[in-house]
Amino acid sequence: MPVPWPAILLLSVIGALLMVAWYHHTAGPGYPLDDSWIHLAFARHLAGGDGFGINPGQASTGSTSPLWALVLAAGFLLGATHETWPWVMGALCLAASGFAGAMALRALLAGVPERGKAWQLAMAAGVPAVSLLIVFSRGMAWSAAGAMEVPLFAALLLWAWAVHARRDRGLWGLPAGLATLARPEGFLFVILLALTSRPPRRAAVNLSVALLCYAPYGLFCLLASGRPLPGTFYAKTTCAVAGLPDIAYVAKAAGLLWQVAAPGCLLFLAGLLAGLIARRFHATSWRTVLPGVLFPVALVAAYAAMGRTFLFAGGAGNFGRYLYPLSPFLAVAGMWGLLQLVILHRAHSSARRVMVTSLCGVIAALVVWQAASGRAHARFFAHNVRDIEAMQVAMAKRLDERLPAGSWVAANDVGALSYLTELRVLDLVGIVSPEVQAALFPLRGREGAVRERALFDVIVAKQPLAIVVFPRWYPAILRSLDPLLEPLEEIHVPGNITSAHDRLIASRIHWERAAPGERPQGR
């Protein structure tokens, strides 16, 4: 039975629009992370002809998703605003990920021996259900509504997987390479696709195409910073491999993944068991499905083996958000295995109908569970938006009124400051500012006092007009600058769960006064 692709596409679009609209209705205007504003700042300056960075004319390697920045910049060039365009594109990318997941599942099942009407009914339920499981996923919906790159990243990876599964036909290197421009973790999936491609020549061609897709941004990063990957990687890790994977971290990441994708995790485990049984009795091929099965394991293991800094927040980013792209793979791989229960059944037609009906009921229950979970998560999203609006956005608006345009401001959260004001920002974390990267990256893994002295030297050399920080992050630097500081603003957000701390202060630095005497001694 042919798959009704127009109907599945329509279903994905409607589901994605409903989810994003519900999140927007629940939270109101705004975005759930300062990182969302960083993406918008890159896009605004790119669309305005001010280069690829958060300060006009200053190149930066701080974007982990240059492709998403280009998508947002296209909207700004067309006259769209940050209140509408990111929501629209987020919803469309979420719909694309759901549709690509359905494509991947159908391609994976192409080699499964069909068994009449029972198989057709199971396929009719399973393929559309996968698209809904993806668009209703908590992490995917949160990212789409939050102007984050995850739905775009997932859609490209799933597209590559679908092409790879077409029995060695098609060029999967193109979407896989584009995925590395949406998030650098895409390289891990590229490797898995290459290892399972046949013949080896096809693997080499696609791997070359994927590397060529990333090459322009890798060259840009190399020329701007001397390193081929985005600055985020070097700010949040001390080394790519610090040893064997940390088992405690693996357990924590597994718990986070269960929190954000419980239906998908359950489906994945059940489908994996069903697929193993099918492999035992029907010689079902696992080669094409292996990349998607191994990707969640490989990504968690890679994070667990890295030397992580405190900026690798919450174990896997804020709220486990680095794990959000895994939800679609859990759904597709799990459904692939679960549907093979149909071909294992050899009973009479009446018993088979009962079995297939039960299977469809389980699939429907998972979709309803996923939808209810995703809908309820909108309240959490709204809390995130309120935190960012009350702290980072409010601070940016106040400083925009009090400081001259073009002034330099040192800050540990730079997204809202860069997008909502005409101020120039010095990122004290070192993700987007080249001068801070040059000072801090060679000191990765060194004690805090050494890093703070280097950061203090950058501040003295740059002489920003103001500093905006969480005081608990930089007490030694604030003590050293104290004779020069004039309090400007202080924002306290009780009950904050989104920003690193609930208190943010801004002070003007009077460099014309006596030079600071005491050097920072560390946190």
In degrees, to the nearest 5, what angle opens at C-alpha 143 toward C-alphas 142 and 146? 85
Low-confidence ranges of the chain (pLDDT < 50): 522-523
pLDDT at 190: 97
Give every CB contact of residue 288 below 8 A, 6+ residues apart in sequence: 107, 108, 111, 164, 165, 167, 196
pLDDT at 217: 97
pLDDT at 501: 92
pLDDT at 523: 42
Which letter, b or e, does each residue of 496-507 get, where b requires 16 or more Cβ atoms within 10 Å of its Cβ? Answer: bebbbebbbbbb
Domain boundaries, the chain: 5-384, 403-509
- At 67-122, the pLDDT tens digits run 999 999 999 999 999 999 999 999 999 999 999 999 999 999 886 665 567 777 88
pLDDT at 522: 44
pTM above 0.75, yes or no: yes
SS3 230: coil
Contact 307, 239 (CB under 8 A): yes
pLDDT at 311: 79
pLDDT at 342: 77
Distances (CA, A) of 196 to 96, 105, 168, 273, 416: 25, 17, 10, 21, 43
Contact 503, 495 (CB under 8 A): no
